[in-house]
């Protein structure tokens, strides 16, 4: 884009400041923001409230991010839709739309690839390629809404990438989707999932944005966690739990612990009891995820007896627990799988 800056990546406050510095009245920033984020405009020329002269001034320095839908896969089982998007530089990312009874939930990506190396995840196989800009993150929502002619009611940052490893752009994204001139989504309808970057959990708590924080725990001892999540070599479970308590105190929001049940690795009753002793007394919820059997990883899904046993143990101890329903199992909806498949089929 010839060194032009992306208007879609600015929060309203940033846009007003930039316009002011360029001698453009701040109310123009409100108009531009609204046309981009509410009216879904992708070309400066199309912002018809601006004069021709002003459009050309803005166009000299700026552009509007506009990712493209490459493919869409529709699940015949449950209405889940999986999108592959092509970015301006040819990189590919994926997002998922899940129609639930309580509204449309979009699961979106924050990075191309991921460097965290979780052993059960297909997104990390090639490492981190690059961070997504705030405009690229938010545009996944706009493209899904326009394609399906729906409003997205809930957003989960749980696609490819570790959101807290792309901290600044993710914070901008949160402010953009929450803005009332944009899609005006309440913070309570947004969930950010992290593998546990402890210092960034403190930073996020200090932002005092009441989003739901979701921790990918997946193990109940440091040794077990180190086997499946390299980040555990950097931060212990105790440090993560301490940071979560700080987050709860700051935001008064309930934390979700995500726990992928892996056959024979972390799914027996002892593991459930250890989990209980880690999180007891906290304002929290446990979401158990039966692992998707995917070819990129060596692990297998737990059997139904272990899944039920794990959930029952926690429930009996008074921990709010749910087992995540498998969505889109006929369309490779596990994080990173479709992108890998597309790239390997289209290589060379």
Shortest distance (Å) from residue 343 CB to ligand SF4: 16
Query: Residue 270 Cβ, how far from ligand SF4 at the closest point, in Å?
Result: 24
Q: At what angle do helices 167-178 and 198-207 cross, to 10 degrees?
A: 30
- CA dist 278 and 259 (Å) reads 13
**Residue 335 is a catalytic residue:** yes
Rounded to whole angstroms, the Cα distance separating 332 from 292 reads: 9
Burial 303-330 (b: 16+ CB within 10 A, else e): eeebbebbbebbeeeebebebeebbbee
Among 107, 118, 228, 291, binds ligand SF4 (CB under 6 A): 118
CB 83 to ligand SF4: min, Å:
17
Catalytic residue status for 21: no
Question: According to the binding rule CB under 6 A, does residue 214 interact with ligand SF4?
Answer: no
Q: How far apart are CB 222 and ligand SF4 at their closest, in Å? A: 17
Tell me the two tokens of residue 313.
């143990």
List 106, 108, 121, 176, residue binding ligand SF4 (CB under 6 A): 121
Asked if 110 is part of the footprint of ligand SF4 (rule: CB under 6 A), the reply reads: no
| By CB under 6 A, residue 132 contacts ligand SF4 | no
Q: At what angle do helices 237-251 and 198-207 cross, to 10 degrees?
A: 0
**Phi (first) and psi of residue 306, to 5 degrees:** -65, -40
Scanning 88-96, 121-129, 205-213, 323-331 for contacts with ligand SF4 by CB under 6 A, the matching segment is: 121-129
Q: Is 162 in the site for ligand SF4 (CB under 6 A)?
A: yes
The window from 5-13, 31-39, 55-63, 117-125 that contacts ligand SF4 (CB under 6 A) reads 117-125
Q: What 8-state DSSP symbol labels residue 153? A: -
| CA dist., res. 324 & res. 335, Å (int) | 15
Which of residues 47, 87, 116, 134 is near ligand SF4 by CB under 6 A?
116
Backbone angles phi, psi at 90, to 5 degrees: 90, -10
- Smaller CB distance to ligand SF4: residue 50 or 217? 217
- Contacts with ligand SF4 by CB under 6 A: the residue count is 13
| Per annotation, catalytic residue among 65, 94, 136, 258 | 94
Stretch that binds ligand SF4, among 93-101, 133-141, 158-166, 294-302 (CB under 6 A): 158-166
**Contact status: 160 vs ligand SF4 (CB under 6 A):** yes
For residue 114, state whether it binds ligand SF4 (rule: CB under 6 A): yes
User: Rounded to the nearest 10 degrees, what angle do helices 237-251 and 269-279 cross at?
Assistant: 50
Q: Kindly state the tokens that stand for 328.
A: 């889109």
> 54 or 112: whose CB is closer to ligand SF4?
112
Binding of residue 161 to ligand SF4 (CB under 6 A): yes
CB of 316 to ligand SF4, least distance (A): 29
List of residues 6+ apart from 255 with CB closer than 8 A = 212, 213, 214, 215, 244, 247, 248, 282, 283, 284, 285
Q: Cβ–Cβ contacts within 10 Å for residue 137, how many?
A: 33
Residues classed as catalytic = 94, 335
Residues forming contacts to ligand SF4 in the complex (CB under 6 A) are: 114, 116-118, 121, 123-124, 160-162, 195, 216, 335
């Amino acid at each position: 884009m010839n060194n032009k800056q992306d208007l879609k990546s600015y929060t309203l406050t940033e846009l007003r400041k930039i316009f002011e510095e360029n001698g453009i009245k701040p109310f123009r920033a409100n108009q531009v923001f609204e046309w981009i984020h509410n009216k879904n405009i992708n070309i400066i020329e199309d912002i018809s409230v601006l004069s021709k002269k002003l459009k050309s001034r803005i166009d000299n320095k700026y552009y509007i991010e506009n990712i493209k839908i490459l493919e869409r896969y529709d699940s015949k089982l449950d209405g889940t839709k999986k999108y592959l998007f092509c970015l301006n530089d040819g990189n590919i990312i994926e997002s998922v739309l899940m129609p639930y009874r309580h509204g449309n939930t979009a699961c979106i990506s924050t990075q191309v690839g991921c460097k965290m190396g979780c052993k059960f995840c297909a997104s990390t196989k090639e490492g981190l390629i690059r961070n997504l800009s705030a405009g690229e993150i938010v545009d996944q929502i706009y493209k899904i809404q326009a394609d399906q002619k729906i409003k997205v009611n809930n957003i989960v940052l749980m696609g490819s990438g570790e959101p807290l490893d792309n901290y600044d752009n993710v914070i901008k994204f949160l402010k953009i989707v929450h803005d009332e001139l944009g899609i005006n989504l309440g913070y309570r309808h947004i969930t950010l999932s992290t593998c546990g970057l402890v210092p960034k959990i403190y930073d996020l708590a200090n932002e005092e944005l009441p989003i739901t924080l979701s921790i990918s725990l997946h193990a109940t001892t440091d040794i077990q966690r180190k086997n499946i999540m390299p980040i555990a070599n950097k931060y212990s479970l105790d440090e993560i739990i301490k940071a979560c308590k700080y987050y709860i105190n700051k935001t008064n929001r309930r934390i979700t612990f995500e726990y992928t049940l892996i056959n024979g690795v972390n799914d027996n009753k002892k593991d459930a009891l250890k989990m209980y002793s880690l999180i007891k007394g906290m304002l929290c919820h446990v979401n158990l995820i039966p692992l998707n059997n995917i070819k990129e990883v060596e692990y297998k899904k737990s059997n139904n007896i272990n899944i039920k046993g794990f959930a029952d143990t926690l429930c009996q101890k008074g921990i709010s627990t749910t087992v995540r329903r498998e969505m889109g199992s006929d369309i490779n909806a596990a994080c990173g799988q479709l992108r890998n498949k597309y790239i390997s089929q289209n290589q060379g």
